[in-house]
């Protein structure tokens, strides 16, 4: 039986699975929602919902108090990350508007392989054979699904 430390240590796995599930659900719901709506407007609507939910959680947990402690460097990179997220969503919704979810979602998940590459180049993370092989399989799987 797991003790508390073992359960806590596995929480990242549970959160990652929940993230994958909701990302999959997001694609399906977005495809239905964007069918008769401009993709930029759809992105804006979705963004407002996320904004309200994220700030609501932060305020409910009392974490907004830590806002003044965020360094300028952290703020810069969080803002840049937000811009990258926004651009990703804009292009994702445009792709969903024009394409099939079963093709758009796998191409979008090429971000995993690109993230691995960027983590090696920018963050100087070590690229193991296992990680490289996994990234290659993702790329091959994406090609199989879209061709």
Residue-averaged pLDDT of the chain: 90
Tens digits of per-residue pLDDT, 3-35? 655 656 677 788 888 888 998 898 899 999 999
- The reported pTM is 0.79
Q: Are residues 93 and 114 in the same domain?
A: no
At residue 1, the pLDDT reads 47
Contact 24, 105 (CB under 8 A): yes
Residues 77, 123, single domain; the answer is no
With a CB cutoff of 8 Å and minimum separation 6, the contacts of 97 are 34, 35, 39, 42
Token code pair at residue 91: 């292009």
Asked if residue 91 and residue 121 are part of one domain, the reply reads no
Reported as a single tens digit per residue, the pLDDT across 94-108 is 999 999 998 998 999
Q: How many domains does the chain have?
A: 2
Which domain, by its residues, includes 60? 4-97
Euclidean distance between the first and the last CA atom of the chain, given in angstroms as a whole number: 46
């Amino acid at each position: 039986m797991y003790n508390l430390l073992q359960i806590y240590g596995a929480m990242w796995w549970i959160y990652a699975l929940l993230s994958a599930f909701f990302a999959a659900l997001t694609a399906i719901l977005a495809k239905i929602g964007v069918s008769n709506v401009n993709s930029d407007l759809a992105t804006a609507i979705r963004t407002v919902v996320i904004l309200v939910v994220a700030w609501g959680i932060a305020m409910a947990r009392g974490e907004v108090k830590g806002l003044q402690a965020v360094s300028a460097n952290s703020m810069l990179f969080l803002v840049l990350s937000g811009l990258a997220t926004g651009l990703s969503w804009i292009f994702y919704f445009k792709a969903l508007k024009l394409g099939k979810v079963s093709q758009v979602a796998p191409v979008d998940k090429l971000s995993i392989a690109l993230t691995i590459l960027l983590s090696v180049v920018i963050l100087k993370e070590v690229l193991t054979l296992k990680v490289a092989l996994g990234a290659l399989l993702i790329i091959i799987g994406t090609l199989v699904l879209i061709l």
